[in-house]
Structure 1
Amino acid sequence: MSPQDAATPTVDYYFTLMSPYAYLGHAQVLAVAREAGARLVYRPARIFELFSANGGLPLGQRAPARQRYRLVELQRWREARGLPLNLAPKYFPVDIALADRCTIALAEAGADPSGFMDAAFRAVWAQDLDLADPQLVARLLTEQGFEASTVLAEAEGAVSGEIYERNTQAAIAADLPGLPGYVLNGEPFWGQDRIDALRDALVSGRGPYTSR
C-alpha cells in the first residue's frame, strides 16, 4: 500500500438492492465519496438477519403508523433526491440475494459495481421489474458492459456466499439497525438521511464518535 492509499479515507457501504432508502442515497453517497476523495467498499448484507440481531422489523410486521409514516418519508425523499420511485412496486419484497451477490462478484473482480447497482435499484423502484429473475439480472449486467455468465457464476459460488455472510455479521457488529449504512473509522451512519453527516466527518477529518 502506498502512502497515498494509506491516507485515503475508507467508507464501508452496507446496503441491499431491495432497500428504497439505499436507492435514494446511492447517487448521493457516490458524490460525497468523490468530493472527499474517499474509497467506498461495497458490502451488500442480508437485511432480515440484521433486523433480527439489532431490533428492526420487516415492513409487514411494523405498526400501522410506522408503515404509513414510511410512505410519507419516501415521498419527501423522492422529491428531495429528484428520483423516480414507485411507492408500491410490483415485485417487492422478493429475494434479491443473487443480485446482491453480483455486486460482491464485481467488487471481488476489481470492477466498479455502482452502475449495476443503480440499474438494479431502478429496476425495482422505478420500472416494476422482478430483481429475483436471473434473466433480468443477467440483462442488467450485460447492459453495464459485464460478461453476465461469468459474474453470475461467481455470484452463485461459495466465496460470494461467505462474503455476504461476513458483511452481514460486520453490519451487525457495527450497530447498524438497518440499511443502508455507512461506517467510517468504526463510526456508523445509519440511513441515507445521514449522508450529510458522513460528508461532514470526511471533510473535517475529525475522529470517530463512539458508544464504547
Structure 2
Amino acid sequence: MAHIDYYLGTISPFSYLAGDRLEKIADRHGAQITYKPVDLMQLFDRTGGIRPADRHASRMEYRAQELPRWAEHLGMPLNLKPAHWPVNMAPSSYAVIAAQQAGGGDLGGLVQGFLRAVWAEERDISDDGVIREILAAHGFDPALADKGLFVGAETYGRNLEQAVADGAFGAPFYVVRDSGQRFWGQDRLDFLDRHLATL
C-alpha cells in the first residue's frame, strides 16, 4: 500500500482548490494518506519562500487572476478576499491532528471543511465555536478542540520539521513515502495519480 504524506495549510487557497481529489486518487490506488498541517508562514521562512504580505505586487496580481480561474475551472465557490484571512492556523491544525489520532470520522472532509469555511463561507477557523461545529459536521467529537491542544501543538511543530526535511516548501504538498516523489500544488494531482499507478 502506497503512503502519501500530505502537507497542508488550513488557510491555503490552493489546498482549498484541491477539494477531495486527493482522497479519490488515494482510494482508487489503495493508498493511505497522513494529513500533516503546517505553519505555512514558518515553512516559507525556512525554505526561501516569501509570505504573502511581503510578495511583490506582480506576484499578488497574478495570484488574484489565477485563483478565480482555477475556482471556475473546478466549479468551486471562492471569495478572493475572505473576511477571515489571514487567520491563526494553529487551532484548526490542532483539531485536524487530534481528529486524525482519534479516528472515527471523515478526516479528508474535515480538512476540506476548514478550507471551505475560509474561502467560501466567510467563517473564522480560529474561533473555538466554528472549530467545534466543523469537527461535529464530519463525525468527530467537538471536544477534540480542547482535548487535542497539547498533542496538537507538539505534532504541529514536528510537522514543520518533517516538511522541511522532506523538501516541502508550500501547500498543498504531497510526498509519496514509498518512492520519495514529491508533488507541489493542486495542479499536480494528475501527476500524483499517474505515479501511484506505477507503484
Q: TM-score range by the shorter chain?
A: over 0.9
Is this contact kept in 2: 1:154–1:160, CA < 8 A?
no
- For these two proteins, the number of residue pairs brought into alignment is 196
Residue 159 of structure 2 is aligned to residue 160 of structure 1: no
CA apart distance, 1:198: 0.8
Residue 32 of structure 2 is aligned to residue 32 of structure 1: no
C-alpha root-mean-square deviation of aligned residues, in Å? 1.2
Pairing 1:57-206 to 2, within 5 Å after superposition: 57-111=50-104, 112-149=106-143, 151-157=144-150, 159-184=151-176, 185-205=179-199
CA apart distance, 1:98: 0.7
> What letter is aligned with 2:188?
R
CA distance in 2, matches of 1:49, 1:9: 29
CA distance in 2, matches of 1:37, 1:147: 27
CA distance in 1, matches of 2:194, 2:138: 32
Is this contact kept in 1: 2:13–2:119, CA < 8 A?
yes
Unaligned stretches of 5+ in structure 2? none
**Identity of matched residues, %:** 36
CA distance in 1, matches of 2:46, 2:28: 34
Q: Secondary structure at the match of 1:148?
A: coil
CA apart distance, 1:60: 1.2
Unaligned stretches of 5+ in structure 1? 1-7, 206-212
CA apart distance, 1:155: 2.4
Is this contact kept in 1: 2:93–2:152, CA < 8 A?
no
Is this contact kept in 2: 1:98–1:155, CA < 8 A?
no
Task: Please identify runs of 4+ aligned residues in structure 1 that moved more than 6 A.
Answer: none
CA deviations on 1:141-175 (whole Å, 9 max, x unpaired) are: 122232211x1123212x22111111111111111
Is this contact kept in 2: 1:14–1:181, CA < 8 A?
yes
Is this contact kept in 2: 1:17–1:121, CA < 8 A?
yes
CA distance in 1, matches of 2:86, 2:148: 20
TM-score by length of 1: 0.88
CA distance in 2, matches of 1:198, 1:10: 12
